[in-house]
Structure 1
Amino acid sequence: MKLKYEEAAAGHGKDQPDDDHSAGLTSTASLSPRPGACADVAIVILNWNGAGFLRRFLPGVLTHADGARVVVADNASTDDSVELLARDFPAVELLLLDRNFGFCEGYNQALAQVDSDFFVLLNSDVEVNLGWLRPLRRLLEVNPLIAAVQPKLLAHADPTYFEYAGAGGGYLDRLAYPFCRGRLFDTLEKDRGQYDDPRPVAWASGACLLVRRSAWQALGGLEPAFFAHMEEIDFCWRLWNAGHEVWYHGGSAVQHVGGGTLPKTNPRKTYLNFRNGLALLYKNAAPGELLPALLQRLLLDGVAGLRFLASGQLANCWAVVRAHFSFYGQLGYWRKRRRLAQPHLRVAERPGVYNGSLVWAYFGRSKRKFSELGLK
């Protein structure tokens, strides 16, 4: 299933209406397309109390939009985000949500109201550069099988290094632990052009993600129960199961601050990562591979909890416990979502999957770079 970029360029899902997500949403602008090179693209920024990031990065988004529409969907911010947008950014189309729906349902609510053929899910803490959008749009144009693509993500604090949330494209190990070309756990590589090639990946970063509207609607958008964290991995895994492709394109690069909503040490983030990690595996792993992978994942999560306890991080340890109780308590819901996801692709059939244990490679064998895993 791995196509070379040249093969993709020679390539010439399915489309059904999404559920009605319009409740609680009003528009303060006309959402009609405007002419330009990327006029069929809508750059949609989901904002919650991010006035500082909007003030800092939105001018660049507008400057380098390449004809695309720029939409900010505000998740019921309590800061001055809405006033800032109305006063300083009249060119931005503004959608107002009446409460904080979280990242997943917030985007589901907002994108149901935007009728462009392509969406860019763009974090408010991302700085874009001249020409960043067109290579992504071009890739989807030359290969209709591709439903989602991310650019290279570099660290805003030091753009010579990859950024945690997407780096050079997203991968999974056989237990669904996520990692990237350029990032294993918390170890970031320096960008030396080693991951500039376009290629299929297991998942693409939600910090900057170009998506076909038809595929988004066919899959029902992001998993609302995730709230935030790992939602793009789940979405991309479902894309592969549905016959679409997910790619990374190193010919486009953006800079991401990261941790703009919750820092990595926040117990709430720990809870979401562990709970969503279990749900991700349960929803999408192929029959026959689910049970052994889930049992190993439960064991490793227990080890992680004990490490938090040993290091005095009691809140994070308790977050792991709560994550497991939440997953077990909602097992009926996750079972229904698994049926909808229609998992069938085995590890060997999915691009971007390491048929080994990332935990063992990193902590047991001291592998710190993507290239040391033996993946191409």
Structure 2
Amino acid sequence: MASDSFHFSIIIPTWNNQPYLELCINSIRKNSHFKNKIIIYVNEGKDGTADWLKTQPDIEFLHSTKNEGICVAMNSCRALIRTEYMVYMNDDMYVCPGWDLALYNEMQRIGHDNFMLSATLIEPYATTNPSVVSIVKHYGDSLETFKEQELLATYNDIPKKDWSGSSWPPSVISTRVWDVAGGYSIEFSPGMYSDPDFSMKLWKYGIRIFKGIGSSRVYHFQSKSTKRLKKNKGADTFLVKWGITARTFYRYYLRMGEDYDVAGEAPQAIPSMQQTRGKLKRAFKVLFS
């Protein structure tokens, strides 16, 4: 460990996903460069997650008897954070060695806290979602098929430049900026589209550094919890709230997925609003009819 004091506070919402949560926590303990504080929000916990966490003295957690979702979980855990920087992570992730040091080095290079940074995901399957930025390499899609030793030996083999458009976890932000932005918006509960909404709030505040770090790597088993979730109509809520689609925001403002040395910190020209007006009418009808 680099320090006796905590460096990051890592917030992990979880929902009846104890085996993956245990793997995630164990990876943080053994593969992190720094000593980081782990804070868990247990949604429902009917699988015994809360009872298990009581046996882990180095972890703080909150517990709701129902599934409150990501927005309530993140906002609630803010009260337990005593570090300058916080990390949002999913419970179905496995951090690779030095993931936090790579983020810290970039923070030092930036020299201020007006940013959002993300680690780069390694995922077993490609996705058609243009908002997903990841390295595709199959190290397993379940605990039973997970090739941990192979991952540890080869996770750095595929080159990846820093990329533009940090928005999804695992992400790091200062607690000061989190407080200024007001945390996650509960109108997006249980959580779909809360990520672009939070990034838009940061954009409105004036932040222009949304950067993914290619050398910070985290394996992701891909949506082990969200596949079970009854999803909110986040796309429509985002459109009505901000007047543009989340896809437009990601593509033209954050320039998600472009190499950062090319995209920089400036948005592209925004397309005509003609098509968006029709989508707005539909979204209002869906949300308020």
With the length of structure 1 as denominator, give the TM-score of the two structures.
Answer: 0.56
**1:222 equivalent in alignment to 2:184:** yes
Structure 2 residue aligned with 1:91: 58
Alignment of 1:67-86 (within 5 A): 67-86=35-54
Displacement of 1:123 in angstroms is 0.7
Which one of the candidate residues 223, 229, 238 is aligned to 1:280? 238
Quick one: which of 220, 225, 232 aligns to 1:261?
225
Residue 104 of structure 1: aligned partner: 71
Task: Check the 8 A contact 1:95/1:110 in 2, yes or no.
Answer: yes
* 1:295 paired residue number: 277
Indicate conservation of the 8 Å contact 1:36/1:68, yes or no. Answer: no
The match for 1:179 is 131
CA distance in 1 between partners of 2:87 and 2:216 (Å): 14
1:327 pairs with 2:287: yes
Give the alignment's TM-score, normalised by structure 2: 0.72
The answer on whether the counterparts of 2:120 and 2:133 sit within 8 Å (CA) in structure 1 is: no
Counterpart Cα distance in 1 of 2:27 and 2:102? 18
Aligned to 1:239: 202
* Equivalent position SS for 1:112: helix
Cα distance change on mapping 1:164 and 1:223 into 2, 3 Å: farther
Q: Assess, with a 3 A threshold, how the Cα gap between structure 1 residues 135 and 45 changes in structure 2: closer, same or farther.
A: same
Measured in 1, the distance between the counterparts of 2:218 and 2:73 equals 23
Separation in 2 of the partners of 1:221 and 1:64?
A: 28
Q: Deviations over 1:221-275 (max 9, x none)?
A: 1111111112111111221221112111111110111221232xx6833xx2xx2
Q: 1:293 to 1:41 in 2, by over 3 A?
A: farther
| Cα-Cα RMSD | 3.3
Instruction: State, as a whole percentage, how many aligned pairs show the same letter.
Output: 18
Assess if the C-alpha contact under 8 Å between 2:118 and 2:212 holds in 1: yes
Indicate conservation of the 8 Å contact 2:119/2:212, yes or no. Answer: yes
Q: Distance in 1 between matches of 2:59 and 2:127?
A: 27
1:127 counterpart residue number: 94
Q: 1:98 to 1:86 in 2, by over 3 A?
A: same
Contact kept, 8 Å, 2:113 with 2:177, in 1: the verdict is no
**Whole-angstrom CA distance in 2 between matches of 1:192 and 1:296:** 45
Equivalent pair of 1:108/1:221 in contact (CA under 8 Å) = yes
**SS at structure 2 position matched to 1:130:** coil
Residue 116, structure 1, aligned to residue 76, structure 2: no
1:43 shift after superposition = 1.1
**Counterpart secondary structure, 2:35:** coil
Which structure has the larger Rg?
Answer: 1
Q: Secondary structure at the match of 2:202?
A: helix
Counterpart of 1:44, as a letter, is I
Contact kept, 8 Å, 1:153 with 1:255, in 2: the verdict is yes
CA change 1:242–1:232 in 2 (3 A) is same
Task: Provide the aligned length of Structure 1 versus Structure 2.
Answer: 243
